[in-house]
Amino acid sequence: MNGPASPTSYHWSVHQLTEYLVQVSEPREQFAAIDAALEHAIETFDAELGVVMLDNELRASLGFGRQEVPQCFLGPLRDNEPVEVPDIGRVFVARGDLDKAATRGTGCDGYMLLGRLGREFSAEESQLLQGMALTLGLVLHNLSILQAERTRHRLVETLLDIQKAISARRPLNEVLDAITEGAWELLGRGPVALLLVDPASPELLRPHSLDRYPGFDDEAVALARGALAGEGANWEPSALRSRPLLAAQVVVSGEAAGCLIARPQGHAPGYRDQAELLNAFAQQVSLALNDARSVDAVRKASRDHITGLPNRAHFLQKLEQERLTSVEGNTDLTVLFIDLDRFKAVNDTLGHQVGDELLAEVSRRITTCIRPTDTAARLGGDEFAVALAHTDLESGRGVAHRIVRALANPFAVSGREVLIGASVGIAASAERHSDASALLGDADIAMYRAKRSGRGRCVVFEPYMQEEVADRLDLFTDLQRLATNGQLWLAYQPILSLASLGVEGVEALMRWSHPVRGLVPPSVFIPVAEETDLILELGAQAIERALADMASWHRHATGLRLNLNVSARQVVDQSLPEIVGAALAANHVPPELLTIEITESLLIEDPELARARLTRLKDIGVRLSIDDFGTGYSSLSYLRQYPVDQVKVDRSFIAELRDNATNDIALARSIIELCQRLRIETVAEGIETDEQLRLLKELGCDLGQGYLFAYPMPAHDWLTWQGAVSSRRGLSPPNLVSASS
Ligand code: C2E
Ligand code: MG
Ligand code: MG
């Protein structure tokens, strides 16, 4: 800048031009090229001030010291226009455009402006400056092409990495972080943030990653909202100092799901390129979210929403994989089929929400009993299954027992304690299994067997069980027809006063005359009917038939009482009181003559429900009896809690009664005495010998029933039997026995 040369002494040699070109084109970054060009120009023209403007931004300045470049120096100035620069003085300016407006050869929108104190620029100088500026423009143009190429290359690499992360199903957060990171890197490491719409409340924008946007501010939020509302990206060309903010929408299934915002740093890619870059990253976010959603949808479709466990379809797929692996590697594979014992009653009484809570807790307990590599699933309703890879039958049995124990502990749901329990069927993968369903089917059959042999059991599948199941299926099919074809009838067995041997009443017992199987005992067909609502239909028919029979007998013997058996399922069903009430009314039978027999099991399994249902039955005026008393686990004190009128002491106790069987006598005595204290009538079931009769009489038992007096008999035989007995005013052993069941 300090040279005595006059304006006219500039005669650029080829050498000088080459030197300028080398200096300006050497740098790999635009800003360095600009700095070099400006320095060179100021030196060449011995100017005091100089700036380079590019894309409406000040890119370089020299000679202003610490002060900012004044606006007066930035305006559109003509050559040799004098400008008064504060603190410096009056300068003449010369301007060289980086591109000729007419040709747009370099595509650079900018200029170099020099200011010289006291001396105008000659035409020659102006021309030279123009040449230097054009050279810079050319260099910048080349650099920007190179830069764009580099950016494109890095973009491709970054996007590839992101694509890999998405298809490898990396966790969504990780993928989104990688995208933000990539955008940050490619946009000159300026702040970048991702904002996502909260699906629960769409008016909320949740920042996903702010690591790369430390100064995240209101302006950014406002911009994001604008972008989401479809106003597009925000660009303020006049903002020279504050960097412009860019925004790109994230769209998932046609809906705005969020936006990526950035404040790009550096000048390499132009604004349009930056916006495009950001858009590319926003699209990656869309892809990642979309993919995550479809993965989630698939996951949901294969999961049970209450427990989060795989559902039946998914379990069968998994089991099939395990089965093939075990066949291939000749390794063990065992399946458990778990059925909850009292779930339905809980669901019916406490409601579905409590039921769902219970199922979720059941699944947690099952999961704690198995290894992380085992697969637990909810098959539906109250059925669960577990696949145990590399596990033989014996170890499988161990797991099954562990599960049964875990589920036998009380459950705390909605502020109360609920007792359920489970039965488990166990089957090991074998050659006979053609697929996973066959294997699971065997475990199911074993579970069924477990359930029938008493609850809370674990049973291993045996081939004979298959036939048993097939037979029961046949039976069930026949039973369904039974309701309409008149094969069902009732047998009656008298109940006598043990003191007087006078007939007090009669118990109705269901009979089924099967055309092929012959007389099927209720102990066979009732459990089958009880597995479905078929028992409700059969039970209702028995109630109606028995009361109709009773009405016809009352013409002969008034005051005769009727005992009717109902299954727990009928009691749980809401309509039982109406059915009984209607049958009583239709046949003009006083309700107090009817005694409904229920078994203990209901009282133990669900005391709450039992109390509620029994109270409703009591409300219509009928009497209640506990059948087969003593076979369940109920303690005697249980009786106090229910509105019970009668207890039928189970046949197994009576069978043991002999003069020298002191323990059995003591047992029978304690039951009878307790009932007496509670004013509950006692009935002894299955009296077969005179000895039993005598002992029971001595113990003070009220009533009795058994082959000693009569077998159950068809209604017309009963009428004859009863007529004969009443004409003799009671039975006197050796008695009259009608064998007809
Ligand atoms: P339960 O109610 O305890 O009926 C008494 C059973 O003992 C009857 O068997 C009867 O035939 C039998 N029995 C009577 N006296 C003697 C005896 O001296 N010795 C022996 N060994 N057995 C005697 P059944 O008729 O086979 O009925 C079996 C069970 O089926 C009944 O036991 C009852 O639980 C059920 N059941 C019968 N009818 C119905 C019905 O209509 N509805 C429902 N839900 N269950 C029924
Ligand atoms: Mg009975
Ligand atoms: Mg009984």
Query: Each residue of 302-343: pLDDT tens digit?
Result: 889 899 999 999 999 999 999 999 999 999 999 999 999 888
The minimum-distance atom of ligand 1 relative to the CA of 522 is 30
CA of 678 to the centre of ligand 2 (A): 21
Provide the pLDDT for residue 234.
45
The single-letter DSSP state of residue 120 is P
Ligand at minimal distance from the CA of 686 is 1
Provide the pLDDT for residue 646.
95
How far apart CA 256 and CA 245 sit, in angstroms, is 19
Greater pLDDT, 616 or 264: 616
Q: In what order do the strands lie in the sheet with 192-197?
A: 205-209, 192-197, 255-262, 246-252
Provide the pLDDT for residue 731.
65
| Band (69; pLDDT cuts 50, 70, 90) | confident
> Which among 40-49, 382-391, 530-539 has the top mean pLDDT?
382-391
Which residue owns the Cα nearest ligand 1 atom 17?
686
Is the Cβ atom of 595 under 6 angstroms away from ligand 1?
Answer: no
CA of 625 to the centre of ligand 3 (A): 10
CA of 507 to the centre of ligand 2 (A): 7
**pLDDT, tens digit (0-9, with 9 covering 90-100), for 192-230:** 888 888 877 777 777 776 666 666 667 777 777 777 776
Provide the pLDDT for residue 555.
72
The minimum-distance atom of ligand 1 relative to the CA of 539 is 42
Provide the pLDDT for residue 302.
85
**pLDDT, tens digit (0-9, with 9 covering 90-100), for 229-269:** 765 444 443 333 345 778 888 888 888 888 888 887 765 45
Is the Cβ atom of 494 under 6 angstroms away from ligand 1?
Answer: no
Provide the pLDDT for residue 30.
83
Is the Cβ atom of 707 under 6 angstroms away from ligand 1?
Answer: yes
| Band (58; pLDDT cuts 50, 70, 90) | confident
Is the Cβ atom of 509 under 6 angstroms away from ligand 1?
Answer: yes
**pLDDT, tens digit (0-9, with 9 covering 90-100), for 661-689:** 888 899 899 899 999 999 999 999 999 99
Ligand at minimal distance from the CA of 570 is 1
| Band (17; pLDDT cuts 50, 70, 90) | confident
CA 586 to chain centre: 51
Provide the pLDDT for residue 212.
66
The minimum-distance atom of ligand 1 relative to the CA of 570 is 44
| Beta carbons within 10 angstroms of residue 642's beta carbon | 19
Greater pLDDT, 234 or 586: 586
pLDDT higher than threshold 90 for residue 623: yes
| Band (738; pLDDT cuts 50, 70, 90) | very low
**For the residues of 467-504, what is the DSSP string, one character each?**
HHHHHHHHHHHHHHHHHHHS-EEEEEEEEEETTT--EE
Which residue owns the Cα nearest ligand 1 atom 3?
628
| Band (595; pLDDT cuts 50, 70, 90) | very high
The minimum-distance atom of ligand 1 relative to the CA of 510 is 38
Which residue owns the Cα nearest ligand 1 atom 25?
509
Provide the pLDDT for residue 102.
47
pLDDT higher than threshold 80 for residue 634: no
Provide the pLDDT for residue 52.
92
| Band (426; pLDDT cuts 50, 70, 90) | very high
Is the Cβ atom of 566 under 6 angstroms away from ligand 1?
Answer: yes
Provide the pLDDT for residue 484.
63
In a mutational test of the pocket of ligand 1, which residue from 519, 528, 565 has the highest number of ligand atoms less than 8 Å from its CB? 565
Percent of the chain's residues with pLDDT above 90:
41
Is the Cβ atom of 542 under 6 angstroms away from ligand 1?
Answer: yes
The answer to whether the CB of 35 falls within 8 A of the CB of 49 is no
Ligand at minimal distance from the CA of 492 is 1
The minimum-distance atom of ligand 1 relative to the CA of 542 is 41
The residue with tokens 């059915």 is: 579
| Band (509; pLDDT cuts 50, 70, 90) | very high
CA of 671 to the centre of ligand 3 (A): 15
Provide the pLDDT for residue 8.
42
Provide the pLDDT for residue 739.
39
Its pTM stands at 0.55
Ligand at minimal distance from the CA of 628 is 3
Mean pLDDT throughout 63-76?
81
Provide the pLDDT for residue 14.
67
Greater pLDDT, 270 or 228: 228
Among the ranges given (44-48, 142-146, 594-598), the one the predictor scored with the smallest mean pLDDT: 142-146
Average pLDDT of the chain is: 85
- 548-to-526, 585, 594 alpha-carbon distances in Å: 22, 11, 12
Domains observed in the chain: 7-146 (3.30.450.40), 169-298 (3.30.450.40), 312-475 (3.30.70.270), 489-505+530-706 (3.20.20.450)
| Band (636; pLDDT cuts 50, 70, 90) | low
Is the Cβ atom of 510 under 6 angstroms away from ligand 1?
Answer: yes
Among the ranges given (459-468, 619-628, 720-729), the one the predictor scored with the smallest mean pLDDT: 720-729
| Band (6; pLDDT cuts 50, 70, 90) | very low
CA of 725 to the centre of ligand 1 (A): 22
Strands 333-340 and 255-262: unpaired
| Band (185; pLDDT cuts 50, 70, 90) | confident
Is the Cβ atom of 418 under 6 angstroms away from ligand 1?
Answer: no
Which residue owns the Cα nearest ligand 1 atom 30?
522
Provide the pLDDT for residue 231.
55
**pLDDT, tens digit (0-9, with 9 covering 90-100), for 433-492:** 999 999 999 999 999 999 888 788 999 999 999 888 888 888 888 888 776 676 789 999
The minimum-distance atom of ligand 1 relative to the CA of 688 is 18
Is the Cβ atom of 521 under 6 angstroms away from ligand 1?
Answer: yes
> What sign for the dihedral angle of Cα 649, 651, 653, 658?
positive
Provide the pLDDT for residue 590.
94
- 184-to-190, 320, 732 alpha-carbon distances in Å: 6, 47, 106
Provide the pLDDT for residue 106.
64
Provide the pLDDT for residue 732.
57
Provide the pLDDT for residue 393.
95
Is the Cβ atom of 540 under 6 angstroms away from ligand 1?
Answer: no
* Closest to 733 measured CA to CA, from 689, 682, 683, 684: 689
Is the Cβ atom of 650 under 6 angstroms away from ligand 1?
Answer: no
Mean pLDDT throughout 710-727?
87
* Closest to 245 measured CA to CA, from 256, 258, 259: 259
Which residue owns the Cα nearest ligand 1 atom 10?
712
Is the Cβ atom of 197 under 6 angstroms away from ligand 1?
Answer: no
CA of 468 to the centre of ligand 2 (A): 26
Which residue owns the Cα nearest ligand 1 atom 23?
686
Which residue owns the Cα nearest ligand 1 atom 4?
509
Provide the pLDDT for residue 357.
92
pLDDT higher than threshold 90 for residue 589: yes
The minimum-distance atom of ligand 1 relative to the CA of 564 is 41
- 149-to-61, 146, 224, 268, 273 alpha-carbon distances in Å: 28, 5, 29, 11, 12
| Band (80; pLDDT cuts 50, 70, 90) | confident
Which residue owns the Cα nearest ligand 1 atom 34?
565
> What sign for the dihedral angle of Cα 227, 233, 238, 241?
positive
Is the Cβ atom of 522 under 6 angstroms away from ligand 1?
Answer: yes
Mean pLDDT throughout 113-127?
89
How far apart CA 430 and CA 327 sit, in angstroms, is 8
pLDDT higher than threshold 50 for residue 535: yes
Is the Cβ atom of 567 under 6 angstroms away from ligand 1?
Answer: yes
CA of 650 to the centre of ligand 3 (A): 6
pLDDT higher than threshold 50 for residue 167: yes
Torsion of CA 327, 328, 332, 333, to 10 degrees: -60
The minimum-distance atom of ligand 1 relative to the CA of 521 is 26
CA of 630 to the centre of ligand 1 (A): 16
Is the Cβ atom of 527 under 6 angstroms away from ligand 1?
Answer: no
